[in-house]
Structure 1
Amino acid sequence: MKVARRSRDTEPRPTVRRAALAVGAAVALVTGLAGVGASAAPATLDTAAPGKQSATLPYLNPRLSTERRVDDLLSRMTMAEKIGQMTQAERANATPADVTELGLGSILSGGGSVPEDNTPEGWADMVDAFQDGALASRLGIPVLYGVDAVHGHANLYGATVFPHNIGLGATRDAKLVEEVNHITAKETRATGPQWNFAPCLCVVRDDRWGRTYESFGETPGLVSRLSVAVRGLQGRRGQLDHRDRVLATPKHFAGDGLTTYGTPTGDYTVDQGISIVSRQEFARLALAPYWPAIQRYGAGSVMPSFSSVDWTEDGVGNPTKMTAHRELLTGVLKGRMGFDGLVISDWEAIHQLPGTWNEQVRAAVNAGIDMAMEPAQFRQFITALTEEVEAGRVSTARIDDAVTRILTAKFELGLFEEPYTDRRNLDEVGSAKHRKVARQAVAESQVLLKNRGHVLPLSKKAPLYVAGSNADNIGNQAGGWTLTWQGGSTNVIPGSTILEAVDDASRRNVTFSETASTPVPSGATGIVVVGETPYAEGFGDVGGPQWAYDPGDNGVPRPVKDMKLSAADQQAVDTVCTQAAECVVIVISGRPLEIAPALLSKIDGLVAGWLPGSEGDGVADVLFGKKRFTGKLPVTWPRTVEQEPINVGDADYDPLYPYGFGLSTR
């Protein structure tokens, strides 16, 4: 059988690059400055050379320091313009005219929120349209555009889709993680967005959490080491204005990986719950990765978590939502850690705080939130914050501090000189060069858990029989945050499934039967690819909500998330491993899954494949010995789900496979 490969039609259409600045808007900007403060002086614009104004307005002069430019611009802003800069809206709910009218500081694309033309050029056109709106405002302050490019710019069809962080954690390869994030930055900024809400620096301590795959692992040492992802996105200090860099956002500050099972409100069982720990444990497990991210790599923004923290040693029992946690946001993050970037709230996180809407806004901003992610209620946020300032409940100094941080990021990104998308890297989106790095990341992320009789690497002589729900499903292989927020089994992206990769690598007869209903040929080696279907956030919590999100599911609820193989997967493994001469099982999942002892005893080779993304060829590389297995478990693999939470160092530690385990092959 020869498997047809999916098309990689990702070539952008030819385009004419826009001018660096809208000259008409710049002229309007200068004339509109009349009477806005005694220090305002007219500027001389060279209309023959857009973007090269010999400006006497200090904030338009690129030869001045960022600090002086920020101070000058801040002195010219009205309170309405400042509050507008502190506001972020979702692209589906805002227009370029809204950006002009309100002076919005930022626009974002939530998971699955994409332009109608979901191509590199379509993204660039969309972002530039919002930039048109920003430059048409009185002061012409460019807009920041943010996305969740958490394993590549995966909202974009045709982007390179890398393994999720849990797989990268298995590689233990800091240099590779930096390179993966550099490519993500390059593909993201080439298509317009200059801000990435990544990396996730949570230290996951309970794999029942639906965001486990967003973590590099369960120890603060591993996550701290891989916080180099920040440098991958931003580059070294002073490189933010390069066309292959974006503003990074370590998240979620802090403790979202430590939440106690059963503490969230609503249907979630872990996500957005309460971290019930001592201050010492919180510092060790939750705060540790942020020190290098901020002090060594200079992270430009940070996103607080939805979680709450309850300091257990004080006996108060009064958990505080991170969005309103002044001690941690202002005292620790902006104080002890010396963070001088901007703090962006998570999606409508302010709405989760106690009190009236005005009280919620006041608490968040006074705690240290600099920009509010208000996808739909951005106007209401502006109104409420304006009222709080006018009433003296939020100080002008707090507003000025927030806006200073926002403007600093925009100047350092070079947006005042080059506000529009630099499209010279468009043809690199999803390029063979980038996919080669993704393939390497996949190969290094594979963890060999069992290798009875040295079944791996596979012999090149025996026929192959491939089965399992995840063998030929690239949507399952990519997981959540791929094209849509929750991902989907029916989401098809350019790339290679594991079946396609095996077929290409083996160059011999391959029989495929997803359910293993076709008899296994005599003497065949079986490969069974099983595991989870996609999810994101609380919808992946064990015992969490069951729902039908993917339109391709036709209203049928998605499989329950229980960290166990489905009945169909178990049957496929049992059938193939009983009939085949030898069998290898690959688990495609965002976390360890429970494998019953009776089933495990029938398996010759067991591989933790995680969520490899678009390049299934990387899995085949280690199966057939083109590359060695080198991956090590970034989290503990339990015997049963009931052992959760289980982490290395526990007094009663008795896992199926311990943290750091991983066999190698020659």
Structure 2
Amino acid sequence: MKVWLLASAAGLAVAGCSPGPTTIASAPPPAENHTPVAYAANWPEAHSPAAITDAATEAAIDALIAKMTLAQKVGQVIQADISAIQPDDLRKYPLGSILAGGNSGPNGNDRASAAEWDALVRAFRKVSMEPRTDGVAIPILFGVDAVHGHNNIPGATVFPHNVGLGATHDPELIGRIGAVTAAEIAGSGIEWTFAPTLAVPQDGRWGRAYEGYSSDPAIVAAYSAEMVRNLQGPLVAGKPLADDKVAATAKHFLADGGTEKGQDQGDARISEAELVRIHNAGYPPAIDAGTLTVMASFSSWNGAKHHGNKSLLTDALKGRMGFEGLVVGDWNAHGQVPGCEPTDCPQALEAGLDLYMAPDSWKGLYENTLKRAEAGEIPKDRLEDAIRRILRVKFKLGLMDGQPDTRGNLSVIGSPAHLAVAREAVAKSLVLLKNEGSALPVKPGAKVLVTGPGADDMAMQSGGWTIGWQGTDVTKADFPNGQTIWEGLSQAVRDVGGQAALSKDGSFSQKPDVAIVVFGETPYAEFQGDRPHLDFTGEGLATIEALKAKGIPVVSVFLSGRPLFVGPEMDASDAFVAAWLPGSQAGSGIAEVLVAGSNGRTKRDFTGTLSFAWPAGCEPGAETLFPLGFGGSYTAKPTVPALATTCSLSGGSRGDGFAVYDRGLQSGIWAFTGDTGLVNLVGSGPGFKATAFDIAAQEDARRLTWTAPASLQLRWDAQELPQTAALKMRVSVAKAPAAAITLKALGDKAKGPLDLTPTMKLVEGKGMRDIEIPLACIADGAVTGVEIASAGAFVFELETIAVVPQAAQMDCTGPF
């Protein structure tokens, strides 16, 4: 699900453009179907439990629908974010659902308490239940992203991300995690979570890979039903879920983990057989277990957006697989369907979407959809089917019985019993990849140095989707009942008579017997984690090598959301542990496995094994170093193959240049306007909008529109480039700018802004033209991106942007 900072993507209407596949083909399915149209016979059969559609509930729904006005019916299929709506708005706009996105908290406070969350939910629900002069009052449904525990609330139990849980290979543990998570969500008054993620990531470059349990569909299938059953509890006909249970969401349907180059919101260019065999694996078990909701994916299948693909949403999911609950959209994702805008998209509803996730576009969407319904453009049967599915969920959650909501047991949040489950999950998720010599386990009485950027960093160990969307500003104060890795290790070492010292840079005053270096990826979420390669380029290696040079055994604890190429770091270490993103209980959970007690044995041995293969190199499609299922223990030391110690991609140098935008934003490039992320360079922010249009292929170019002073930033990791390198853009300007247009570099080597106004005036009315600016004109060294700014209204069209190694001329006076 998207978050408040992430801009919606709006596809422009194109004459003759279809909203996507509308029916399953009646002809026999081909042996290898590479079209975006699903064939029923190729999909497995499943069915939601009859307890969701019992006769009494269906009769009650019939009666409600008969009383609803058309405005209420339209309102039921729209969901708004708390950052863009107030409870009082529901008196005029009878919406069916409210969500809190990744950066949305009560009253704008990301660190609001559980009591504040409970109060907010009750405020929305109270207004939604006020008597109406027409129609019937229907309570809102409130959803939240609780994807590794109730990660939105300080002091809640935060579990390892799914990449770590996959390494436990323990469905029973997954069930207990689901029960704990449900109790804490319900404890804050909320009744719906957007979890579990059933993606089967096939490319580690994907920024959401850590949200998947495994690249193995069998593991995902084994986990999906356990998580659903324990989030929701038993389904009984005519009775609501228990008050410590919540509605689950199987997401994102479908193949978000199978996109080309691992690009977030990208295109899965695969056969239907692969779509079903790999990426659909978790859905039939989840449906059979009774998941009340399914979330459609932002991504596409062979060029067709899932939000507009009727053959998938209606015929495969609701038809062949018998799903009777509601299908919810992702953050304004309906706006990416060709011919749609976030504020107007009947195609998605007709394709099978039941509930639009329209966080900030809800008002325009409501008004436009109501107009279409009044004009007879929205099929009545489809609208009422969507409402029926939404009401089924509300009945199952006990929202329709007229009784006071019994959720809101604040005392369960972060309870000792819950924290113990998280600690167990951390310990079971650790994978021992190397253990040579006697570095592990840490012996009783040892002098231990704990160092590295992740040693005492709650944000690094928790990852994205923690308190906020990206999770970058999490601190120890957010989880006073948690422990950083340093805190857990130091306590365990001292408990058995040892000494522990913390050092950020690896320095020490007393030589240690062993050093534990904690390093890895810094937090990210969604597209901001997309990578162009698998090379780990963060801090850690220099510290490991410096300690080894002094004769100190080194244990590396690697924090990451995916396997990465760490050949140099692993080669220099005596022991190497994949710890993933272990969450708030990392300190004690890791200590239980790494630090021996007075009897010389640890509380737990390593039991985790890889649920993703580990790459031997940094390049996409690299050979496998450790296969899925690999992992050692103290009784079975792992055997490490020969390690590559250099990246074949020249250590990140891009001396030959690189594409920034070419038919889409390239992997490893991020676009922003202000604080708003522009996925694939589409979206809007104050004073700026980027939209897609066609030149040679569908939506292969961008129209950049300024209505007020604003900037567009294109960011990438720092790159060493030739001094002769240039930024080359192919642009079209229909009308010369009236205000100043500037270009400047990003990074600490940047110079001041360069005036592009004369250049833009020069190419006015001449169609697509190349302009080329030497990077030496805007920077004295490596750059981390560029910023294009306009001081006023201006529009230009963009076909490509690239960094080229050799400028045609090195003059900085312009025009260019």
Q: Does 1:483 align with 2:467?
A: yes
2:270 aligned residue: 277
User: Could you tell me which residue of structure 2 aligns to residue 305 of structure 1?
Assistant: 297
1:77 matched to 2:68: yes
Q: Could you say which residue in structure 1 is the equivalent of 2:389?
A: 405
Q: Could you tell me which residue of structure 2 aligns to residue 502 of structure 1?
A: 489
Matching residue of 1:363: 347
Match of 1:426 in 2: 410
CA distance in 2, matches of 1:640, 1:570: 16
Deviations 1:262-315 (A, max 9, x none): xxxxxxx710010010111111111121010102x11100001110001xxxxx
Q: State whether structure 2 residue 506 is matched by structure 1 residue 516.
A: yes
* TM-score, normalised by the number of residues in structure 1: 0.81
Change (3 A) 1:482 1:101: same
Q: Please state how far the C-alpha of 1:607 moved relative to its aligned partner.
A: 0.4
**Partner of residue 663, structure 1:** 632
Residue in 1 aligned with 2:84?
93
Q: From the superposition, tell whether residues 457 and 335 of structure 1 become closer, same or farther in structure 2 (CA, over 3 Å).
A: same
**Is contact 1:212–1:591 with CA below 8 Å preserved after alignment?**
yes
The question of whether the paired residues in 1 share the 8 Å contact of 2:433 and 2:575 is answered with yes
Q: Which amino acid aligns with 2:230?
A: G
Cα deviation, 1:397-431, whole Å, max 9, x if unaligned, reads: 00010000001110111112366543562111011
Question: Which residue in the other structure is 1:373 paired with?
Answer: 357
SS at match of 2:80: strand
**Aligned-pair distance for 1:509?**
1.3
Q: Which residue of 2 aligns with 1:591?
A: 562
Q: For 2:519, which of 516, 524, 530 is the aligned residue?
A: 530
Aligned length: 560
Distance 1:376 1:424, change over 3 A: closer
CA deviation after TM superposition for structure 1 residue 630, in Å: 0.2
TM-score w.r.t. structure 2 length?
0.67
- Find the counterpart in structure 2 of residue 578 from structure 1: 549
Deviation, structure 1 residue 574? 1.4
Q: What residue identity is the alignment partner of 1:235?
A: G
1:234 aligns with 2:232: yes
Contact 1:480 1:536 in 2 (8 A): yes
Structure 1 residue 383 displacement after superposition: 1.7
Q: Name the structure where helix makes up a greater proportion of residues.
A: 1
Q: Which moved more, 1:600-609 or 1:244-253?
A: 600-609
What secondary structure does 2:516 align onto? strand
Task: Describe the shift of the 1:309–1:282 C-alpha distance in structure 2 as closer, same or farther (beyond 3 A).
Answer: same
Unaligned runs of 5+ residues in structure 2 are: 1-53, 596-601, 636-816
Correspondence list, 1:425-444, <5 A: 425-444=409-428
Offset at residue 602 of structure 1 (A): 2.3
Deviation of the 1:110 alpha carbon: 0.4
Q: Which moves more between the two structures, 181-190 or 234-243? A: 234-243
Q: Is 2:570 the counterpart of 1:600?
A: yes
**For residues 401 and 334 of structure 2, what CA distance do their matches in structure 1 show?**
33
Matches of 2:217 and 2:504 in 1, distance apart?
Answer: 39
Please name the residue that 2:325 is paired with: 341
Cα distance per residue 1:313-367 (max 9 Å; x no partner) = xxxxxx1001101100001000100000000000000111211439951110000
Distance in 1 (alpha carbons) for counterparts of 2:186 and 2:336: 32
Which amino acid is 2:610 matched to?
L
Aligned to 2:657: none
Q: Mark the CA change 1:526 to 1:403 in structure 2 (over 3 Å): closer, same or farther.
A: same
Residue 381 of structure 1 deviates from its aligned partner by 1.0
- How far apart are the structure 2 equivalents of 1:431 and 1:234? 20
Q: Which has the higher strand share?
A: 2
| Matched residue, 2:613 | 636
Q: Which string of whole-angstrom CA distances, capped at 9 and with x for unpartnered residues, describes residues 364-415 of structure 1?
A: 0000000001011111111222233233332000001000000111011111
Which residue in the other structure is 2:113 paired with?
Answer: 119
**C-alpha deviations, 1:176-224, integer Å up to 9, x for none?**
1111111111100111111100000000000110001100010110100
Question: Which of 165, 169, 184 is 1:168 aligned to?
Answer: 165
1:660 partner amino acid = G
Asked if 2 retains the 8 angstrom alpha-carbon contact of 1:525 and 1:580, the reply is: no
Distance 1:584 1:357 in 2: 52
CA drift of 1:97 comes to: 1.5
Structure 1 residue ranges without an equivalent (≥5): 1-62, 262-268, 311-318, 544-560, 647-653
Q: 203, 206, 211: which one pairs with 1:206?
A: 203
Cα 1:426–1:166 change in 2 (3 A) is: same
Secondary structure at 2:556 match in 1: strand
Aligned counterparts of 1:509 and 1:578: Cα–Cα separation in 2: 22
Moved more, 248-257 or 90-99: 90-99
CA distance in 2, matches of 1:663, 1:76: 63
> What letter corresponds to residue 136 of structure 1 in structure 2?
E
Contact 1:111/1:484 (CA < 8 Å) preserved in 2?
yes
Q: 2:59 maps to which residue? A: 68
* Mapped pair 1:247 → 2:238: no
Once the 2 structures are TM-superposed, how far is the Cα of residue 236 of structure 1 from its aligned partner? 2.1
Does the CA-based 8 Å contact 1:370-1:402 persist in structure 2? yes
Q: Indicate if the aligned counterparts of 1:456 and 1:605 stay in contact, CA closer than 8 A.
A: yes
Is contact 1:439-1:618 (8 Å) kept?
Answer: yes
The DSSP-based 3-state class of the residue aligned with 2:231 is helix
Instruction: Verify the 8 A CA contact 2:79 2:357 in the aligned structure 1.
Output: yes
Distance 1:411 1:631, change over 3 A: same
- Distance in 1 between the 2:489 and 2:421 partners? 19
Q: CA deviation at 1:64?
A: 8.1
* CA contact 1:563–1:592 (8 Å) conserved in 2: no
The Cα offsets for residues 437-479 of structure 1, whole Å up to 9 and x where unpaired, read as: 0000000000011111253222113210111000000111110
Q: Deviations over 1:600-625 (max 9, x none)?
A: 22211110000010002101111121
Provide the secondary structure at the position in 2 that maps to 1:370: coil
CA RMSD, Structure 1 to Structure 2 (Å): 1.8
Matched, 1:131 2:131: no
The one-letter code sitting in structure 1 at the alignment partner of 2:336 is Q
- Whether the 8 Å CA contact 1:91–1:108 is kept in 2: the answer is yes
CA distance in 1 between partners of 2:402 and 2:163 (Å): 36
Deviation at 1:120, TM superposition (A): 1.4
Q: Give the Cα–Cα distance (whole angstroms) in 2 for the partners of residues 80 and 275 of structure 1.
A: 37
Q: Distance in 2 between matches of 1:501 and 1:359?
A: 49
The residue that corresponds to 2:371 in the other structure is 387
Determine which of 188, 193, 203 is the counterpart of 1:191: 188
> Hey, what's the Cα distance between the residues in 1 that align with 2:235 and 2:462?
32
Which amino acid in 2 is paired with 1:661? F
**2:335, 2:342 within 8 Å by CA — same for their partners in 1?**
no
Distance between the aligned counterparts of 1:243 and 1:572, measured in 2?
A: 50
Q: Distance in 2 between matches of 1:106 and 1:628?
A: 46
- CA distance in 2 between counterparts of 1:185 and 1:523 reads 44
CA distance in 1, matches of 2:122, 2:621: 46
- Distance in 2 of aligned mates of 1:586 and 1:255: 31
Q: Distance in 2 between matches of 1:394 and 1:251?
A: 26
